Amino acid sequence: MAVTLSYMPTEHVPVLAAELIGLTSPQPGDVVVDCTFGGGGHARLISESLGDDGELICIDRDPVAAERFADFRAEAHCETEFIRADFADALGELAAQRRLADVVYMDLGVSSLQLDAWERGFSYAYDAPLDMRMDPDQALSALEVVNEWPDRRLAEVIREYGEERHAGRVAREIARRRPVETTSELVDAIRAGMPAEARFGRGHPAKRTFQGIRIAVNSELESLDRALPAAWELLRTGGRLAAISFHSLEDRRVKRFLADRARGCICPPELPVCVCGHEPEAELLTRRAVAPSPGEAAENPRSRSAHLRCAVKLEEEAA
């Protein structure tokens, strides 16, 4: 299915770009995998470090990203390849082919290109048909989730993926108003389902519910859970894995995955000495997540919630 955008930004501003490049340290001749090409902002900067002998493999399930990649390829400073797929599937296939990478990085969540294309229904700021599909060829859309899922299941999605404390009330109001066919109708239902004090609190009252539904539509957390081990397998020793997340559900998964691989002894704490002999597989390059500077947050408000984590895969003899 072709996607025609009503609005296409002329420049995509990559989040935490300098920090990502500093931590992953791409070198001439490296093989780098960009798991979420999007508008290509990070890819353009990374490619400058790789040189003619380097290779940048770009992945995205959105056909608009594929269109953007065609322009990027013409100006890239290295060899390039594009894979249109869910990044978990693509990484698994690359690993199965025994291809190795020096750097794998992920810029998670919804992209600015998707948010700003009003007709795709990702944003509560525009009136549009309910959709929210990152891959418009997939069957499940927000229209089905909102109108066909039982209100109890919808409440679970809004509570668990959106971290919305009023999820039950919101889901019941959405169900009462069905059919809900546009983003504006969904926003109205969310407002009506929330207590008065929550409608006028910090941030837009629909933000968390939209996030929860979007994550469910695109299976974002399930993909991330599959992608992280596949990316780790793909890395050669000394390679670096980095992820930029935009909400706590993503960040907790990345943090836990990297921390588990950086652990040494896994013996029960009651044992006086280590008997497991377990050695860490990774060294954390970010003990705490890296956040945008005040200057970046002021210039690009969408970067404010970003968190970057990175680790290096240790040599085999030490792992």
Distance from C-alpha of 185 to C-alpha of 183, rounded to nearest angstrom: 5
CB atoms within 10 A of CB 25: 14
Hey, what are 146's tokens? 């909102």
CATH 3.40.50.150 domain residues, the chain: 17-113+225-318
213 burial level (CB within 10 Å; 0-12, 13-18, 19+): buried
Secondary-structure percent of the chain, ordered helix, strand, coil, rounded to 5: 45, 15, 40
What does DSSP assign to residue 147? Answer: H
270: pLDDT confidence band, cut at 50, 70 and 90? confident
Q: Which residues of 272-281 are buried (b: 16+ CB within 10 A; e: fewer)?
A: eeeeeeeebb
Q: Is the pLDDT of residue 319 over 70?
A: no
3-class SS at 224? Answer: helix
Residue 243 near residue 103 (C-beta atoms within 8 A): no
For the beta carbon of residue 314, count every other beta carbon within 10 angstroms. Answer: 17
Chain region(s) in the chain for CATH 1.10.150.170: 115-218
pLDDT digits (tens, 9 = 90+) for 235-268: 999 999 999 999 999 999 999 999 999 998 777 7
Identify any residues that bridge with 84 across adjacent strands, giving them in sequence order: 60
Nearest to 92 by CA among 215, 185, 182, 223: 223
Dump pLDDT digits (tens) for 30-50: 999 999 999 999 999 999 999
Query: 115-218 maps to which CATH number?
Result: 1.10.150.170
Predicted local distance difference test score (pLDDT) of residue 11: 54
Fold of the domain built from segment(s) 17-113+225-318: Rossmann fold (3.40.50)
Q: Tokens 């239902």 — which residue?
A: 189
How many Å apart are CA 249 and CA 138, to the nearest integer?
Answer: 23
Mean pLDDT of the chain: 93
Cα–Cα distance measured from residue 294 to residue 234, given in angstroms and rounded to the nearest whole number:
34
The model's pLDDT over 147-191, given as tens digits with 9 standing for 90+, comes to 999 999 999 999 999 999 999 999 999 999 999 999 999 999 999
Q: Are 155 and 206 in contact (CB under 8 A)?
A: no
The DSSP 8-state label assigned to residue 129 in this structure reads B
Q: Provide the residue type at 194 as one letter.
A: M
Report how far residue 319's alpha carbon sits from residue 312's, in angstroms, rounded to the nearest whole number.
12
Q: Please give the model's pTM, rounded to 2 decimal places.
A: 0.91
